[in-house]
Structure 1
């Protein structure tokens, strides 16, 4: 019996690690696509609306083909509307800021939600006290603070406002992590929820885009580069949010927030090697702190299964 429990624990931890790495890596890819889209001059809120709309439609199509859309699926609409708003807001902030502060810093800002999510979850009684988790989230946050302070101190005045926007992204992300876990519809499949959330995200994004950027540019569908960047990011979103919801269901909101740490390290590495961006001198130390935090969080997750 003990041996069976040990195998189950190891399988659960390995599955969570795999979901964490895949989801975090795909998040980094979406941010890289956003950087390329910004450099290409695509209106970023319309870009977000079209990308999430296509991805959500693909997922809903898969859900329909696999029999996940049933007669009672309409009760998920309110949940999806809220989840879509929590997705559209931080993504929009990231897409708008990325052209000003770079893909590296925006990626690394996604490492911040760990502590915020854990604190909110503890206040709501969704997490039990854990010294290991406290140390893990403090390490992740500490790494993020090292980067933020160094980035802010060396930035020109006009860029500092966008640094603050990027730094506030984790606050909304943490709230979204809590919302999705606390109000998760019982028995709802991940693909259906992900599809509905992304379609709602597209709707909220389109409203904001029309108000701030005017009518949607037809070039998103006619310009070859714009279309390639749109379809590539939509495909990434479609896969990412299936694993995203699977990870949330398996590990809860705090474990889910670790994808930001993975995306931060991968995104920063790509920004430096592909786009020639410069990162603060504290980046290596911050990356080590984040990596240790991930290891501790996974260890505490394994202990929770015992």
Structure 2
């Protein structure tokens, strides 16, 4: 990867990861306001899609609705948005915002595993070491019992493994099925619109009604979450192009660190030294992989 592209990828990694890390604390506040997991996830997807659509219309970009693009919208929506968001926002009351966000950090090693199985290019030695180091840090955090005085529920701790599995599958899918000539902003908008439709169905199934009314419980939070999500999605697809699926998967490291800091200093969550030690190991993994000059899967 050329130096200029590596710097761009690093900037996108940090900015996208920080924005993603804000989702869990905001989601915790949303759940405490009485908004269900499906309802909060719907707000992110629908709000993000509308903001991105407005930008696309202002730029007069074409929106493709052919079979190829529609398949991509649906596949990305399910793997990257619907499944992980439903699980993480359902798990937050049981694990805490910081603990739940830690599961993002497991997606790089799972993404790498999927890449090897599918025969795509893998990172260089330093990159592999960085990803493994980040995974070790994540495992330390997961088994550190979470918040002091409020140990994590084992069933939810195990069930939350669906989050990195789905994210890793989405990372690979978005690369291998990227439509020819697909514009990142348009693909982000279409995938979020598809996710919003699935989440309406999820709200009807799990909540017994449409997700709109409960959002009025915290309008300020909803607006803030929509703005953050729209910006994150726009940067997310640019990072997919600049860094490839394995590199992109490391936004989970940045997101988890962001959520841990916010949860600790602003939401009253308290984590032990093992949790923070694991977070530092994760940071070391990000640095090692960023410095890696070996081959990476590119778009």
Answer yes or no: same fold by TM over 0.5.
yes
Partner of 1:146: 140
User: Which structure: larger Rg?
Assistant: 1
Partner of 1:297: 289
CA distance in 1, matches of 2:36, 2:61: 34
Partner of 2:51: 58
Partner of 1:3: none
- Report whether the alignment pairs 1:243 with 2:229: no
CA distance in 2, matches of 1:242, 1:171: 23
- Report whether the alignment pairs 1:95 with 2:96: no
What SS class does the counterpart of residue 282 from structure 1 fall into? helix
Partner of 2:124: 130
> Residue by residue, what CA displacement relative to the aligned partner does 1:127-166 show, whole Å, maximum 9, x if unpaired?
2363222211110110011111122798879822222222
- Aligned residue runs from structure 1 range 195-234, under 5 A: 195-216=189-210, 218-220=212-214, 222-223=216-217, 226-234=218-226
> Higher helix fraction: Structure 1 or Structure 2?
1
How far residue 71 of structure 1 moved from its aligned partner, in angstroms, is: 5.9
- Report whether the alignment pairs 1:177 with 2:171: yes
- Report whether the alignment pairs 1:275 with 2:253: no
How far residue 299 of structure 1 moved from its aligned partner, in angstroms, is: 1.5
CA distance in 1, matches of 2:54, 2:35: 27
CA distance in 1, matches of 2:14, 2:254: 7
Q: Determine if contact 2:95/2:152 at 8 Å carries over to the other structure.
A: no
User: Quick check: 87-96 or 148-157, which moved more?
Assistant: 148-157
Of the three residues 258, 270, 283, the one matched with 1:266 is 258
User: Quick check: 171-180 or 52-61, which moved more?
Assistant: 52-61
- Report whether the alignment pairs 1:83 with 2:76: yes
Partner of 2:18: 25
Q: RMSD in angstroms over aligned alpha carbons?
A: 2.2
Q: Which runs of 4+ in 1 moved over 6 A?
A: 152-158
User: Quick check: 95-104 or 285-294, which moved more?
Assistant: 285-294
- Report whether the alignment pairs 1:119 with 2:113: yes
Residues 303 and 54 (structure 1), Cα distance of their counterparts in 2 relative to 1, 3 Å cut: same
Aligned length, in residue pairs? 295
Q: Where do 5+ consecutive residues of structure 1 fail to align?
A: 1-7
Residues 278 and 167 (structure 1), Cα distance of their counterparts in 2 relative to 1, 3 Å cut: farther
> Residue by residue, what CA displacement relative to the aligned partner does 1:10-57 show, whole Å, maximum 9, x if unpaired?
221211111001000000112221011011111221221133112112
